[in-house]
Amino acid sequence: MFIIESMQNGGPLMWIILALLITISVLSAERVRALYFKMNLNKEHFFKSLTSYLLKGDLEGMLLVCDQNEAPLSKVIKSCLIRVMNNGTDQEIQASLDEAAMVETPAIEKNIGFLAVFGNLSTLCGLLGTVTGLITAFKGVADADPSTKAAMLTKGISEAMLTTAFGLIAAIPAVFSYAFLQSRAQRLIDDINEISIRTLNFIVANRERFGVEEAGDAEGEAA
């Protein structure tokens, strides 16, 4: 088969590039599954569900909405609601949102940067294969009999071109996946920031609906 022959004729760097290609494919598949399925959440539907319970004064219902999804956004909002139930001040609620967002952001961006690294490595391995292939070709031509020079030159150039092509075959999807997944990750992070601010503002404006006062206000009234 052409693929097997190409791997054999391309030299040892072909196997390194193949390993990089497999790694790129696995990482891309895992990140697509995480970012588009496991972490996927309709932010507008989620926010409407939260506010509908909030307007009823039902914090437990809001927590239930958060528990129905494992998305980072729901985890961030849940930390905020727990702080509200503990009579947290506005500053404490904001701090809990910021802390939860800092915890969830690395999970969203996990391993995406490696795609760019492996894409660059694939290109460099392809270029290295080009150089070593040409060195082999010209060295073989210099030492070979006139009758075999053409064959050795062809073999060396073939090795050089095969590694270059295979390096690009691995690098192109890596670069595309990196850009595609990085864009998705940034969108999820933006959703967290947006819904966090909207939820905080909504809670601050509607504290009286669920009978939880800000800690500072409660202490002032007691005094």
- What is the total count of domains within the chain? 1
With respect to residue 125, please indicate whether it lies within any of the assigned structural domains. yes
Q: What is the mean pLDDT of residues 41-66?
A: 87
- The answer as to whether 186 is a domain residue is yes
Residues 107-124: what's their mean pLDDT? 95
Across residues 21-49, what is the average pLDDT? 93
Tell me how far apart the alpha carbons of residues 106 and 89 are, in angstroms, rounded to a whole number.
27
In a domain, residue 107? The reply is: yes
- pTM value > 0.85: no
Please write the tens of the pLDDT for every residue from 145-196.
776 777 777 777 887 888 899 999 999 999 999 999 999 999 999 999 999 9
| Assigned domain for 2 exists | no
Residue 138, pLDDT score:
79
pLDDT at 212: 54
How high does pLDDT run on average in the chain?
Answer: 85
- The residue among 12, 78, 24, 85 whose CA lies nearest residue 50 is 78
CA distance 184 to 84: 30
Instruction: Please indicate, yes or no, if residue 56 is contained in any of the structural domains.
Output: yes
Residue 50 lies in a domain: yes
Range of the domain at 105: 7-212
Check residue 2 and give its pLDDT. Answer: 58
pLDDT above 70 covers a percentage of the chain that reads 88
Cβ pair 30, 111 in contact under 8 A: yes
Q: Is residue 217 part of a domain?
A: no
